[in-house]
Structure 1
Amino acid sequence: MRLLQTTTYQNISFANTVGLGLLEDIKLGYLDKHTWSIHFYQPWVRSALPQADWDTIENLLRIYLRKFNQMINEGAMQMDIPYPFVAQCMAGCVLYPNRTSQAFAYMGYNGQDFLSFNTKNATWTFSQDTKLSRYVQSFLQNYTALSDMVEIIFNETCVDKMKMLLHYGRAALKRQELPVATVFARTPSLEQLLLVCHVTGFYPRPISVAWLRDGQEVPPGPALSTSATLPNADLTYQLRSVLAVAPRDGHSYVCRVRHQSLGTRSLLVPWENHSTAPTIGITIVVLLLVATASAGGFWWWKHRKGNEAAWEAQELII
């Protein structure tokens, strides 16, 4: 489970905060940037915890955000940090199959790693050694109330709440959507053909996409590239795998897709090489033109011979 925070500081008096809660890749809720209250994406999320727990979580978030903004603005003034800038936080916990758990908390500054929280000994360590990172680290270490709150939330509350959310969100987490694969070709040059396997509409996220050449899997190499798995608007995923081959190399190619929703089966999509079709079509057209021209020439030759015979007959009569 992850809680994501992005705060943009336009100046010392204005900051815009966006907050999002995720269970695996399912959006649980978001933070209203005006009221700092929680709004739920899934109907089962509110039912997972008593309303009193949600009220407590909202109050803790408001306290944290006020202190966080105060700390960042004070640090920016003392360190002469120019506005605007962006601060990001990611915190949460992981529950492993053996029922052990681990909490985590990270801070970022302008898209770079900044600080991380060691939940075992409740200490902050900086990823980049700067005046600002030392100031924030010192502030957090001395602000024991915040550190204690973070430690309690992540080492105890986070795992307990996540177990409840896992119970109520079981159906959403076990959702499966079949992948749809399409194979097509691109020709960036006369010497190269790019075979593209586009796979979309699948859930959950893990998937295996490979190319088979004459039934054998193509090994990793410079000719093979696979994109990152990207989200779709309907909460499914997509990716594409591209294989560079020589045109008319005589091999057969198949895109193989393996996914949890397919069970033990594999989705096999062959590349249909239609490159000979235009050649055949052009040949047929040429043959038809030749045949038409030959027929026309033969008719003209016969017509001319007929006229010559008529003239010869007329001369004999005369």
Structure 2
Amino acid sequence: MACYISLVFLLCFPAVYSGSHTLHYYVSMLSSPADGVPQYSIVVYADGLLLGRYNSDIRLAQFFIPSLNVFTEHLELQTKFAQRWQVYQERKMMFLMGFLNKTSDKGAIRVYQRKFACELEEDGTIGGYQEFALDGKEVITFDREREVFVSATQEAVIMLPQWNQYHGNAKGNKMYMENECIEHMKLYLPLITADLQKKDKPNVKVSSSESDSGVKLHCFVFGFYPRDVDVMWIKNVKHEIHSDEASQILPNPDGTYQIRVSVEVTPEEGATYSCRVDHSSLEKTMVVPFERESKQKITFILIGVALAVLLALSLGFYIQRKMKGFKGSRQSVSTEEQD
């Protein structure tokens, strides 16, 4: 039945596949349970749009796009697949932890991550990639053309033979990437066209912090969709400042995205700094200036408030003393009159 539905949609909506498309699977697993966080989870995106999820708490595959809920049998199959897949991910995580000496610290929670993607180009060319990471550090990547996994770090070189022999299954990964993954993408695309066309404008906040060499400027851009965005710091309106930190676009729970771009600068007299944001939802480039005087303004305001309070207290004390003096003189007059 699921295959029949897939065939119907493939025949009825061929025009949907114009352009390039990507289907992403983000897998994460914790070495031990943590409060409020599923120990195992899979999140799926199509062209940056949050489609669905599975995790060890709900133990069901779910779509976030209501129009996709017609694929009930497909969801059931994805649920069974995700449950079986968890066993394989646990084995891979334990292998990486053991080889990288991450098992000695019993109190630490290790994070295993796997990113899997298939790509369909406008001319019909199929591509994709796959990455494995431990504690946020990329360890192994997949070479699709050679059907082999390769090391992303020097320490991973030694373990590659064992990984490719016992844990990689390069041939099976390539087959899934070029067949089932592409079929799933074609199944979803006809029903999410309107969702893919939505646009959410970014919010921008700029701030600063002290650094060893001067000042670090931060530009936090959040709440935007689609995923692609260009964020950079500009000095004196036209000079781009290159960041030494790698800036990653991260997903938000609501399906939008966020990114933070930071640069180190040595403040100069008269120099101006601003964060420039380019996004498809914007009619023109957004430029948010960083005002170094903002902290000084706050300081002046606080000093002004303190002086006002001090003045009020002094005035009150002065009036109180005057009143006491006035009462004393009145009492003297009354005594003289009584005498």
TM-score range, shorter chain: 0.5 to 0.7
Indicate whether 1:167 and 2:190 are aligned.
yes
Aligned to 1:292: none
8 Å CA contact 1:2, 1:91 repeated in 2: yes
176 and 76 in structure 1: CA distance in 2 versus 1, 3 angstrom threshold: closer
Aligned to 1:219: 240
Q: CA deviation at 1:173?
A: 2.3
Aligned to 1:137: 164
Aligned to 1:57: 78
- Equivalent residue in structure 2 for 1:237, among 258, 261, 264: 258
Q: CA deviation at 1:155?
A: 0.9
Indicate whether 1:258 and 2:278 are aligned.
yes
- Which secondary structure state, in structure 1, belongs to the residue aligned with residue 25 of structure 2? strand
170 and 246 in structure 1: CA distance in 2 versus 1, 3 angstrom threshold: same
Q: Which runs of 5+ in 1 are unaligned?
A: 286-318
- The code of the aligned residue for 2:74 comes to D
Q: CA deviation at 1:243?
A: 7.5
Indicate whether 1:203 and 2:225 are aligned.
yes
Identity of aligned residues (%): 18
Which structure 2 residues correspond to residues 21-170 of structure 1 after superposition, within 5 A?
Answer: 21-33=44-56, 36-47=59-70, 50-67=71-88, 69=90, 82=103, 87-109=112-134, 111-120=136-145, 122-125=147-150, 128-130=156-158, 133-140=160-167, 149-170=172-193
- Number of residue pairs matched? 264
97 and 69 in structure 1: CA distance in 2 versus 1, 3 angstrom threshold: same
Q: TM-score, normalised by structure 1?
A: 0.60
Aligned to 1:299: none
8 Å CA contact 2:27, 2:40 repeated in 1: yes
Aligned to 2:13: none
8 Å CA contact 2:275, 2:288 repeated in 1: yes
Which has the larger strand fraction?
1
- The code of the aligned residue for 1:237 comes to Q
Q: CA RMSD in A?
A: 4.8
8 Å CA contact 1:104, 1:118 repeated in 2: yes
Q: Which runs of 5+ in 2 are unaligned?
A: 1-22, 308-339
Aligned to 2:24: 2
217 and 55 in structure 1: CA distance in 2 versus 1, 3 angstrom threshold: same
250 and 86 in structure 1: CA distance in 2 versus 1, 3 angstrom threshold: closer
203 and 107 in structure 1: CA distance in 2 versus 1, 3 angstrom threshold: closer
8 Å CA contact 1:4, 1:19 repeated in 2: yes
Spell out, residue by residue over 1:128-170, the C-alpha distance to the aligned partner (whole angstroms, 9 max, x if none): 1345x533422247xxxx6665343211121121133233222
